[in-house]
């Protein structure tokens, strides 16, 4: 599934001036030399500001390389922020938080610049997020996938800026991988819970695949899904770096490790996904809606081959897929009609 390149830039790859300003912002001085404006901030706050600024540099590096040679204060204006928000492709709540954190970082890097307009913009997104939560709001696969990648990249950033990898960071990466994998392969809850390493999740060379026997599917049909290169790389990182940080991970082969020395239960997976999506989008997304999102995404971007969604979802017939899941075209038509009616009334 297409996505932006690496979503944040490691500190050592920042432009030299950005590195120097960032280090100066957190410098702790003495009685003869003043401290930086961010020297009093807690480690967790510093980390969040770092992630936000590194993510913005990731956007610049991927989409606006013409701005990299400029001073930090000259790279950002309202137009650039509009492009950045579109690139982020996430919910209003996450955008609001991200812009507020970016403003905080810019106040440290460019302390003489007035960034109040960025705060106003953040407040507008926050206000919009409070009215956005709807029970049947359509979320397609690309937004869910990007959320998963975002969570994993955030966990990677945190792990690179600390000497001790906490369980909370490991949980964040685990949940991000879970969401991204479900966005790519929208399995039913019973299948997600049963996944075991080297049994259902198998590796051939550098490629991982899901090999799910009929006994572990609702329709009693075996399923075989090759995974994308991106997800394969993330699985390797999870198994090598994050999974074993969770207590009891070495006692079982469950893919999704809980903090209770056993694999996550169905309710634990359900709650984890809903919690992460609630924070990101302003409304919770359960596992079943990943299946709605996949079929709708397919019908929008490849309508000629939308019948392939039947096999992706493990349905016995396309009639089931069409009846319950492919909603995008009708919703688009409904919005178009509403716009026409609204135009006539004005």
pLDDT at 34: 64
In this structure, are 232 and 157 located in the same domain?
yes
In this structure, are 88 and 184 located in the same domain?
no
**CB neighbours (10 Å) of residue 321?**
25
pLDDT in tens, 10-42: 999 999 999 999 999 988 866 656 678 888 887
In this structure, are 183 and 290 located in the same domain?
yes
In this structure, are 240 and 307 located in the same domain?
yes
Record the tokens describing residue 17, joined without a space. 């001036």
287 contacts 274 by C-beta, under 8 angstroms: no
In this structure, are 284 and 153 located in the same domain?
yes
Residue 290: which CATH number? 1.10.443.10
Name the pLDDT band for 191 (thresholds 50, 70, 90): confident
In this structure, are 106 and 15 located in the same domain?
yes
In this structure, are 224 and 254 located in the same domain?
yes
In this structure, are 192 and 310 located in the same domain?
yes
pLDDT at 33: 65
What's the domain count of the chain? 2
Helix H or strand E segment including 88: helix 78-88
In this structure, are 100 and 26 located in the same domain?
yes
In angstroms, the Cα distances linking 195 to 30, 186, 187, 216 are 55, 13, 11, 9
Cα separation, 294 vs 147, in Å, equals 15
Whether residue 97 is contained in a domain is answered as yes
Beta bridge partners of 203: 208
In this structure, are 205 and 182 located in the same domain?
yes
Q: What percentage of the chain reaches a pLDDT higher than 90?
A: 44
Whether residue 69 is contained in a domain is answered as yes
State the residue range of the domain holding 172: 141-324
Whether residue 308 is contained in a domain is answered as yes
Record the tokens describing residue 253, joined without a space. 């082969």
CA-wise closest residue to 53 among 80, 72, 28? 72
Record the tokens describing residue 324, joined without a space. 């319950």
Name the pLDDT band for 223 (thresholds 50, 70, 90): confident
Whether residue 136 is contained in a domain is answered as no
């Amino acid at each position: 599934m297409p996505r932006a390149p690496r979503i944040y830039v490691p500190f050592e790859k920042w432009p030299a001036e950005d590195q120097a300003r960032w280090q100066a912002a957190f410098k702790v001085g003495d009685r003869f030399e003043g401290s930086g404006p961010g020297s009093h901030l807690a480690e967790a706050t510093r980390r969040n500001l770092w992630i936000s600024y590194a993510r913005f540099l990731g956007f610049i590096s991927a989409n606006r390389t013409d701005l990299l040679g400029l001073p930090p204060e000259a790279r950002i204006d309202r137009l650039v922020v509009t492009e950045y928000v579109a690139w982020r492709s996430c919910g209003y709540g996450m955008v609001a938080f991200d812009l507020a954190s970016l403003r905080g970082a810019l106040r440290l890097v460019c302390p003489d610049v007035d960034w109040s307009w960025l705060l106003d913009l953040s407040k507008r997104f926050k206000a919009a997020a409070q009215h956005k939560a709807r029970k049947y709001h359509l979320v397609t696969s690309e937004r869910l996938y990007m959320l998963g990648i975002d969570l994993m990249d955030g966990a990677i950033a945190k792990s690179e800026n600390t000497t001790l990898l906490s369980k909370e960071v490991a949980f964040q990466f685990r949940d991000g991988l879970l969401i991204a994998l479900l966005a790519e392969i929208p399995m039913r809850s019973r299948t997600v819970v049963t996944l075991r390493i080297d049994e259902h999740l198998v590796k051939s060379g550098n490629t991982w695949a899901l090999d799910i026997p009929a006994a572990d599917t609702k329709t009693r049909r075996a399923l075989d899904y090759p995974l994308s290169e991106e997800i394969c790389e993330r699985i390797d990182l999870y198994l090598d770096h994050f999974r074993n940080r969770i207590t009891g991970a070495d006692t079982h082969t469950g893919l999704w490790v809980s903090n209770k020395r056993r694999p996550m239960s169905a309710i634990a997976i359900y709650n984890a996904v809903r919690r992460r999506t609630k924070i990101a989008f302003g409304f919770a997304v359960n596992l079943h809606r990943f299946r709605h999102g996949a079929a709708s995404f397919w019908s929008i971007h490849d309508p000629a081959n939308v019948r392939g969604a039947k096999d992706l979802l493990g349905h016995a017939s396309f009639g089931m897929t069409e009846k319950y899941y492919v909603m995008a075209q009708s919703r688009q038509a409904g919005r178009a009609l509403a716009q026409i009616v609204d135009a006539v009334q004005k």
